[in-house]
Each structure stands twice: as structure tokens, then as C-alpha cells.
Structure 1
Amino acid sequence: MDLVFTEEEQSFRHAVRQFLRDHVQPEIRRKVIESRDLSRSEMVTWTRILNKKGWSVPHWPEEYGGTGWTPVQHYIFNEELQMYPVRGLPDFGATMVGPVIYTFGNEAQKKYYLPRIANAEDWWCQGFSEPGAGSDLASLQTRAVRDGDDYIVNGQKIWTTLAQYADWMFCLVRTNPDVKKQQGISFLLIDMKAPGVTVRPIQMIDGGHEVNEVFFDNVRVPIENLVGEENRGWDYAKFLLGNERVSIATVGVSKERIRRVRDLAAQTRVGEELLIDQSAFRRKVAALEIQLKALEVTQLRVVASQSKRQRGIQDPASAILKIKGSEIAQATSELLLDVVGPYALPALSKADLESDNNAPIGPDWAATIAPAYFNIRKVSIYGGSNEIQKNIIAKAILGL
């Protein structure tokens, strides 16, 4: 494969970069760099700016609003978004459920849901994990029993990211308990405002409210909300998770974080010496940059092979991207924590700050670094734990 981008590809990169400069508000960029939460309206606004340009769902087929870009252009676009950086709605709509709907859904589902996803009309969440079914997802127990033109859903989901904002959930449910566990699962679209849906927050180690428990108590879901065939949900989930694992590599995010590490280290003194001038620190940064370059080359190899693979069949190398991408993301967050040192205190809420007589000891932007470090511990678990990804590599790549 040729790792040198063509003139046309370089020109495309410059066009994307200029678009970001012209349309991203400096305040939004600053908040993303400092790992601060964006409001729902801020994320929706940016997604709609992209949609107006025709770029909110670039990876979709053109008939559903996609761009028709090459795999390399997709790679460049995502890298530029991550490095700028900026972000819109979470990936649950555009990257996860959207491709499932246009690949396996019926025409009515495509016509209704896909334009709404592209324009951020709906916020989606993912209903996969359960208290007894995380890495062993096929052991899920949430039941959906047919009752006339509805399914009656009962059960519980956990670690449901941003469910407190969601309008819809794409959910794996058990519709046949009498067959092999992977063969009795279906893929339902559930209205989060339906009677019987309860969302309960889980406070995370960083003090934030990002994930939730979701309970279903006799929730009626119309049969037209079944995607694809009944009891084929496991196949659709594997398709979806393949897309999620590729995106978890986040090479651009790690590049931006290393850039920030270097900038801050050039302003941080340890005794009489700048941190960036210490040989031990420079070796640590260089070692991480080498790993990141190896991950980038691996991702480019996956990109180069996409045109040769059947649609819906995921490259097993995406498991490598998931493992190394999550490990490098954690390592870069730890390096940033090393730079900031004791100033990286957990961010306090406005109420906490007003009730505390002690002023923060460091700059305001530093207070988000420790919570971000704690939050990133999760990336080696979601999207299929790294241990599960190693099993995939052993079987699909090494043939063990």
C-alpha cells in the first residue's frame, strides 16, 4: 500500500481544515481541547452545520445522504475533526444504528429515521450491556414477548451512555429463549419516552453523569420497530460493533493530546528546567509517538483494504485498532496528567465552588484533566473488552 497521500487527497485535507476554521466557534474548540462537556444544543448545532454542508453522515451510501468519498477521504475527514478538535452528537446515531437501518432495515424505517439522524433530530443511545451480560453480551436477558402488533419488553440495561438525553434506543432483546443464546436475539428501536421506561443515573469515578441504568417495565414496542428479521439481532450487533471498534482507534484525538502535552510541557518548569527539556520526559513522549505512528499505519492498512471487502464484513484487524487505540488514549491522558501534576484536581460544580471558601489552586483549564484521565479508563472495556479483542485476533488473524 502507498502511504503517501496524493495531491487530490492533500487538497481535500486542506479544504476540510479550512471549513473547520471557518465554521467552528473558538469557544467550542476550547471546550473540546480542555475535555469539557458540550451542551446538547452545541452538539446539535455543529451536526446541523455539517449536514447543511452534506458532511454529517459522510460514510453512508449516497442514496441516504452520504458523500461518495473514498475510504482515504473518510480517514482524512475524521482525522481532521479529531485533531482540530470538534465533535457533534455521539456516534450512536450516525455511526452505529444508522448503518444497521440502511443495511438491514425496511424502506419505511430508512425513510423515517435516516434523515432525522443526519440532521440531529433524534438523540440515540445503545441498549446492549446488562448487569449479567457485558463482555458476554449474548447472555442478555431483557425479554421481548409478542402481543398482537406489539412486543412487551421487560428487563434492564446498564452503562447506557447519555440515555438521560436520548429520544430513542437501539436495543438487543431476547425473543426466543429456547435456542442457542446467539440465535434468539432481536434488534428493536425503542422510544425512550414510552410508558414503562425508567432511566436512573450512575455517577462515574470522575464525578460526572455520563452513563445510566435503564429499566423496562412492560414497555410496548410496535412490531414495525423491529429491524431486520426476528432472532437475527446478533448478526446486526456484530456488524454494528465492527464499526464502533474502528472508530475507537481515534488517532487524531491522540495526536491532538500529544500536541497539547508538548505545548504545556514547554511552559512548565521543574526546578530551573522546563519539563520539555528533561530527557526522561522526552523519551516517554517519543515512545508514545512511535506507538501512535504504528497505530496510524495499521489503520491506513485497514482503510486500504476496505474497498476489497464485502459490505458488512468487518476486517478482523479492527480488533487491533480497538486494543491499541484504547491503550494509547489512556497513555496520552496519563502523560497529560503528569504534566499538570497537582493542579489536575477534579473539576467542581458551580454549586461546590460557591460553597467552598478555598479558591482553586491552579488554572481553570487544569481542573478537567484528572476527571478526563479517570473517564478514559473505560475505553478498554466498551465496544468489546480488550480481552475479547485478543481472542478475535487469535482466531481470525493468527488462526489459533
Structure 2
Amino acid sequence: MTGRDLHEFRAEVRRWCRDNVPPDWRTAQTGPSEAEFVAFQQEWFQKLRSAGYAVPHWPAAYGGGMSIPEQVVLYQELAAHDAPRLVLAFVAVHHAAATLLAAGTEEQRRRHLPAILDGELWVQGFSEPGAGSDLAALRTTARRDGDTYRVTGQKVWASGAQYADWCLLLARTDPDAPKRRGISYFLMDMRTPGIEVRPIRNAVGESHFCEIFLDDVPVPAANLIGAENAGWQVAQQTLGAERGLTMLELAERLGNAGFRWLVEACATPDATGRRPVDDPVVADRLVALDIEITGLRALCSDLVERHDTVTAGPADASIVKLYYSELLQRMTDFGTEVGGVGAHTVLRKPMSGGWESGAWVLDFVGSWEWTIPGGTSEIQRTIIGERGLGLPREPTGT
């Protein structure tokens, strides 16, 4: 599709959205059963796939091949038409695909990339109770036993694990090596005996995150990604996708539908008939957020373009992740202020939506997730300082 006229492509996507975005999906996806949620997500994914819109960032050989400008147009129009997000497929189409394309074998790519397009779901098994921000401190072990590894340990904050078919798993294969050098990266079938998934109910009553308990789980050696004990390097490919490439869509959603709802909230009269936007302070904050969102969109487009040309800097993805997560917090916090007491009476939000749904209090509480997963804001600032600015490394404890 590279080289196609962008005006024609935008018109095509607009027509498709008008014909295919379910007009009542927000109502239907507010409070559905788990089975209804999964069925809706899988159906929506296949609609996007049939149009060629599900994995635009993948290579053309695997069903993608859109240029960066085309991807921007696509995400702009999906956001403008308030299309559902691919919540369930997010890890599969971004993290799993990035890992397989960068470090997987040809056999692993042939096995899993087509399966992802058919609806195979993935979860990321990285963080542990004692290894979140300091991921290299993980203690889950993988012991070699012939052509199998036996995995024992615990993972936490695993998004969507209760639905997943496969897991991107980090485990320690050499307990005597320096902590970053004794880790290996595996593809683990979530239907394997010895795996127990426990959903975690969060502050707004949802169970987005899960714990995963692993008791002597057999993982074939053929499911190793990269070399044994070289998993830390492979994991950087996964984290790079989480911190950078996924942001293109999220930035467009934040800057389009999300900001539009904020403007509408500011233009809605209160009980006295006054509109919040008539207050110069409110108007000034709206303008400031608009400027920040414009900067975020530009950063994301630039990062994806330079990723494709292999010219991205070592801290660029961290800059985008930090900028997005903290801007999301500021914007949803402001929405909560503008929404007033009424915003606190909204108890549910659509499950197939983004982090900006217009349910401002729930959005604000949920926004704090983004400053933790994929590396906390503090970790991102350290990466930016050390890898981006060349500052001295932080001292390590003894």
C-alpha cells in the first residue's frame, strides 16, 4: 500500500468506518459477560483483518505493509469514528509480533504470526512480586531437562492472562550468572499443565491484571527465543514495542476522541448555566493540553519512522512512553475536575474502549497503570538520562 494517495486512503477508511463501526458498541460493552467481551473483541479483530487494518505495522508478507503516513491516517480515522480498540489482541499484535519478527526463528514466525491473525491471544509474563521496576531481579526458574525446560515461579500484573493462549515468558536459566545474563526468553502455551491464573480485581472493580503461578511447567526447548541466557536482550525488543511503537495508535486516540470529549465536557453548562470553558483558566488549560497532544503525535510519528529506518535513539521509546503516560494522567485529571461531582457517579466504562472513555474518574484512576507497566516513569527518566543524555549511571547497591 506504500505510495498510495493519502486523501484517497483517508476517504476509504472513513467509508469503511461508517459502514462497520458498531454504533452501539459502547452500550453493549459496558458490563458485558466475559464471554460477550471476548466474542466482541474477536469479531472486531476479524473485521479489521478483512479490511487490511488489523496489523498495519507488520511486514507486508504477514498481512501489514502500510507506510507510516498511512498508519497515522488509519489511526486518526479509527479514533475520529470512535472505533473499539483491540484490547485483547494488543499484546499479540504488538509485543508478541515484535519479538517474533526480531528474534524468533522462521518456524516460530510461521507458527504464530498467522495464528495471531486467526485470533490467537497472548499475555506478557515478565513482572514478578519482587521484580517489577527491577525486572532483572526476577526469580522464576527454568531448569533444563533434556529437550524440555521445567519452569517454576510466579508472574504478576499479567494483562489479560485469563484469556491468553500463549505467554511471552522470562525465566532464570543460570542462577549463578549476573542477573541480566542468566535470563532466557520462552514462548509458553498457557494450556500446559502446572499453570494457574488468578485475576486481580483493581480499584474500579475490573480484573484487567492477573497473577500466573507456574509449578514445574514443561516448556519445549524449541520454544526458546534467542539463545539460552540471552533473554534480557530479546526482552528489550518487546519493551521497545511497548514503550514506543504501540503509542502511535494511543496518541491518536488521546488526541482525537479523548480530547474531543474533554472539549465537550468543558462546553457543557453546569447547574447555573455557566460553561467551564468560559473561565479563562479552563480555556488556557485546554489550549495547553492541545499543544501537548500535538507534540505527542509528532513524537510518535517520528519514532516509528526512525524505527523503520533503524535510526531511533536508545532512549527515544522511553521518551514517548513517559510523555504519553503522564499526559494521559494530566488530561484525565483535568476531565475529573471539569466533570465535578457528577463524574464520581459513573461506575462503569466500556471494556473495549481505551484509557480515555469520558468516564473521567475511572479514566483518571486507570491512567496510573500507565506510569507503572513497561517501566515506571522513574525508570524511563533513568533510561533517558543514561542512554539518551549520556549521564553517569546510577550507583548500584552492594
Fold shared per TM-score above 0.5: yes
Letter in 2 for 1:252: E
Q: Deviations over 1:6-45 (max 9, x none)?
A: 992233233223222221111225678x899981111111
Distance 1:266 1:346, change over 3 A: closer
TM-superposed deviation, 1:307: 4.0
Distance 1:30 1:258, change over 3 A: farther
Distance 1:64 1:106, change over 3 A: same
TM-superposed deviation, 1:302: 2.1
Q: Which residue of 2 aligns with 1:258?
A: 259
Q: Could you tell me how far apart the structure 2 residues matched to 1:340 and 1:375 are?
A: 16
Q: Secondary structure at the match of 2:143?
A: strand
Q: Could you tell me how far apart the structure 2 residues matched to 1:124 and 1:276 are?
A: 43
Q: Could you tell me how far apart the structure 1 residues matched to 2:40 and 2:206 are?
A: 18
Q: Could you tell me how far apart the structure 2 residues matched to 1:27 and 1:264 are?
A: 21
Could you list the runs of 5+ residues in structure 2 that have no partner in the other structure? 349-356, 392-398
Q: Deviations over 1:322-362 (max 9, x none)?
A: 1111111112212222232222236558xxxxxxxxxxxxx
Q: Which residue of 2 aligns with 1:212?
A: 210
How many pairs align? Answer: 374
Q: Secondary structure at the match of 2:210?
A: strand
Q: Secondary structure at the match of 2:337?
A: helix
Q: In angstroms, what is the RMSD of aligned CA positions? A: 2.5
Q: Could you tell me how far apart the structure 1 residues matched to 2:335 and 2:227 are?
A: 47
Letter in 1 for 2:302: R
Pick one of 10, 13, 20 that aligns with 2:7: 10
Q: Deviations over 1:220-243 (max 9, x none)?
A: 111122122211211111011111
Could you list the runs of 5+ residues in structure 1 that have no partner in the other structure? 1-5, 350-365
Aligned-pair identity (%)? 34
Pick one of 76, 79, 93 that aligns with 1:79: 76
Deviating more after overlay: 153-162 vs 80-89: 80-89
Answer whether contact 1:343 1:367 (CA < 8 A) is retained: no
Q: Secondary structure at the match of 1:156?
A: strand
Q: Deviations over 1:267-287 (max 9, x none)?
A: 232523122322221111111
Q: Deviations over 1:266-319 (max 9, x none)?
A: 223252312232222111111111111122222233234234316xx7652221
Q: Secondary structure at the match of 1:161?
A: coil
Distance 1:93 1:307, change over 3 A: closer
Q: Secondary structure at the match of 1:172?
A: strand
Q: Does 1:244 align with 2:245?
A: no
Letter in 2 for 1:190: M
Matched ranges for 1:1-400 at <5 A: 8-28=5-25, 39-66=37-64, 68-85=65-82, 86-88=84-86, 89-120=88-119, 122-246=120-244, 247-248=246-247, 250-255=250-255, 256-269=257-270, 271-309=272-310, 316-345=315-344, 368-400=359-391
Answer whether contact 2:172 2:183 (CA < 8 A) is retained: yes
Q: Secondary structure at the match of 1:182?
A: coil
TM-superposed deviation, 1:191: 1.7
Q: Secondary structure at the match of 1:291?
A: helix
Distance 1:29 1:347, change over 3 A: closer
Name the TM-score, length of structure 1 as normaliser: 0.86
Distance 1:309 1:346, change over 3 A: same
TM-superposed deviation, 1:371: 2.2
